[in-house]
Amino acid sequence: MYAKIGASVSLEEGTGGAKITDQGAGGSKSVDPGGPADQAGLRPGDVITKLDDRVIDSGPTLIGEIWTHKPGDEVTLTYERGGKEETTKLTLGSRVGDS
């Protein structure tokens, strides 16, 4: 069982954070409806720059940090939207397998 935020992030380097993509794999929504990121108010285009006090410089960094937590953990995400920095609390969801 793995922790997840319920959003697809760009795996590109150099985005200055973990950017929530406009679309998930296979054309699915990039933010799972009703999932942790959706409940926390995150939207496609938001760039996550911190998870708690850890600086997030890319999607893979965010994924690695999420995996150090357990489902149900509450984390504080700092993100940028429209040039403004905002924070939100998010309770990590869970997923099974390694998809």
Structure confidence by residue, pLDDT tens digits, 24-48: 667 778 999 999 999 999 999 999 9
Q: Which long-range contacts (CB under 8 A, 24 or more apart) does 38-43 make?
A: 38/6, 38/7, 39/90, 39/91, 40/5, 40/77, 40/88, 40/89, 40/90, 41/88, 42/5, 42/7, 42/77, 42/79, 42/88, 42/90, 43/81
The pTM for the full model equals: 0.90
**Domain segments of the chain as ranges:** 2-95
pLDDT of residue 68: 95
Structure confidence by residue, pLDDT tens digits, 4-30: 999 999 988 777 999 999 876 677 789
**What is the CATH code for 2-95?**
2.30.42.10
Band of pLDDT at residue 99, cut at 50, 70 and 90: very low
